[in-house]
Amino acid sequence: MNIASPEEHGFYPGRLNRVNHLMERYIDEGKMAGMVTLVARQGQVVHFETHGQADLKFQRPMEPNTIFRIFSMTKPITGAALMVCHEEGWFNVVDPVSKYLPEFEDVKVWEEGELVDPIRPITIQDLYRHTSGLTYGGLFGGHEVDIMYSDANIGAPERPNAKFVQDIAKMPLRFHPGEQWHYSMGMDVLGALIEVFSGQRFGEFLQERIFDPLGMVDTAFTIDPEKEERLATLYQVGETDPLEKVDADWNRYTADVQFESGGGGLLSTVPDYYRFAQCLLNGGTLDGERILGRKSVELMRSNALEPHQMPVAFEGTEAFTGFGYGVCVKVMQDPAAGGWMGSVGDFGWGGYAETYHIIDPAEDMVSIMMMQCLPSMHYPIRKEFRTAVYQALA
């Protein structure tokens, strides 16, 4: 990848080097094994660096093409795929989900221990903005419905998307559709919806309509055996050791995995994800290939939440004050409100293992960092990465 002059694209080089200092500090303190970072402006990459190790035991260094589990950074890709279907007239965003997935026709709401009828159906808009009443299971909450999800093993790797829909539609909703923002498996339901619209498996649709046109050669739900040595090891913050290797059933990307999770199932690299992000920044086109119209991208990056549905916040954690939510992406509304350096209208999302990206139309800029450490936001590295990038602008 060619690296352009930071000065020619509006950065102070010495200040931009603070991104490196930030990453090196986390490595030196034993909080992270390694990471890859990228900053691009005006369509040119001005910073692309590898830091630390992809595997600590074997001292395998991070490389420019290291493959990462991007987890919830899958969501914006699912949102773009949904917009492809929207452009082709398959649905309206306010359509009830049950119109296309009849499993949801009889869904109930868990209300103080009783099952009641929802005040209105779940819409496709509810799915992509996290206002559906669906939840995520014990990973993001301890509500009775979360426990039901965990007990039923919703989203098990061996179950294909159609079976996932059957399973999740049997679960009650945590709240009535439209009442509030709550992080959920709605994007996984979107993946199943896209299968209905397209007549293809979700991964096949993504490959044909997004990955191939954009030249995203390392992004997929499974990993080819010849690429396995490029996959970064997944760590978690340990109780005794700063970093412990994760060995879990959901940490599988082999051919026997049937669930193609629209909410968190993809593997990718920084160069691949940059091509996707730059495409959105360009209004849906890259290198002569158009995957979306400009107005579709504008819809994606517009806040779809009503005031009573705010804030954007994970249960039991600090709210993302100043942010709204669009089509599978968080959207900056007021940088000063939460102290997140950025621009009104910048958008993006992060992943459970601390992958993160920002697409900023106001500054014509993309910023990406990828690492592999659970849980996300245990450290304030996302906010610090933003600061390190934005303070370097001339």
Q: Look up the CATH number of the domain holding residue 124.
A: 1.20.58
Q: Which two tokens stand for residue 110?
A: 């868990």
pTM: 0.97
Q: How far apart are CA 274 and CA 29, in angstroms?
A: 28
3-state secondary structure of 337: helix
> Confidence band (pLDDT; 50, 70, 90) for 367?
very high
3-state secondary structure of 51: strand
- How many domains does the chain fold into? 2
> Confidence band (pLDDT; 50, 70, 90) for 166?
very high
**pLDDT higher than 70, residue 250:** no
With residues binned 3-state (H G I as helix, E B as strand, rest as coil), the percentages for the chain, rounded to 5, are 35, 20, 50
Q: How far apart are CA 244 and CA 234, in angstroms?
A: 8
> Confidence band (pLDDT; 50, 70, 90) for 138?
confident
Order of all β-strands in the sheet with 323-325: 60-61, 44-55, 34-41, 365-371, 356-360, 347-348, 330-332, 323-325
Domain-located, residue 206: no
- The pLDDT of 23-37, averaged and rounded, is 97
Phi-psi region of 243 (alpha: psi -120 to 50; beta: other; left: phi over 0): beta
Q: Which residue has the higher pLDDT, 250 or 262?
A: 262
What would the pLDDT profile of 146-165 be if each residue is shown by its tens digit? 999 999 999 999 999 999 99
What would the pLDDT profile of 183-212 be if each residue is shown by its tens digit? 999 999 999 999 999 999 999 999 999 999
- The pLDDT of 284-298, averaged and rounded, is 98
What would the pLDDT profile of 218-244 be if each residue is shown by its tens digit? 999 999 999 999 999 999 998 877 899
Domain holding 307, by residue range, is 7-71+218-390
Asked whether 376 and 140 are in contact (CB, 8 A), the reply is no
Burial of 8 (0-12, 13-18, 19+ CB in 10 A): exposed
Q: Which of the 8 DSSP states describes residue 12?
A: -
Same domain? For 91 and 229 the reply is: no
- The pLDDT of 336-362, averaged and rounded, is 97
Domain-located, residue 212: no
Element (H, E) at 273: helix 270-281
Same domain? For 124 and 193 the reply is: yes
First-to-last C-alpha distance (Å) of the chain: 24
Asked whether 1 and 48 are in contact (CB, 8 A), the reply is yes
What are the distances in angstroms from CA 258 to CA 153, 202, 346? 14, 11, 34
Asked whether 165 and 190 are in contact (CB, 8 A), the reply is no
**pLDDT higher than 70, residue 43:** yes
What would the pLDDT profile of 55-83 be if each residue is shown by its tens digit? 999 999 999 999 999 999 999 999 999 99
In this structure, are strands 330-332 and 347-348 parallel, antiparallel, or unpaired? Answer: antiparallel
Question: What DSSP line would sit under 201-224, residue for residue?
Answer: -HHHHHIIIIIHHHT-TT-BSS--
**pLDDT higher than 80, residue 137:** yes
What would the pLDDT profile of 84-101 be if each residue is shown by its tens digit? 999 999 999 999 999 999
Same domain? For 194 and 328 the reply is: no
Same domain? For 269 and 372 the reply is: yes
Q: Which residue has the higher pLDDT, 269 or 252?
A: 269
Same domain? For 260 and 332 the reply is: yes
Domain-located, residue 204: no
- Prior bond of 160 cis (ω within 30°): no
pLDDT at 142: 83
Cβ atoms < 10 Å from Cβ of 305? 20
In this structure, are strands 235-237 and 373-374 parallel, antiparallel, or unpaired? Answer: parallel
pLDDT at 117: 98
Domain-located, residue 26: yes
Q: How much is the mean pLDDT over the chain?
A: 96
Percent of the chain with pLDDT strictly greater than 90: 92
Percent of the chain with pLDDT strictly greater than 70: 99
**pLDDT higher than 80, residue 298:** yes
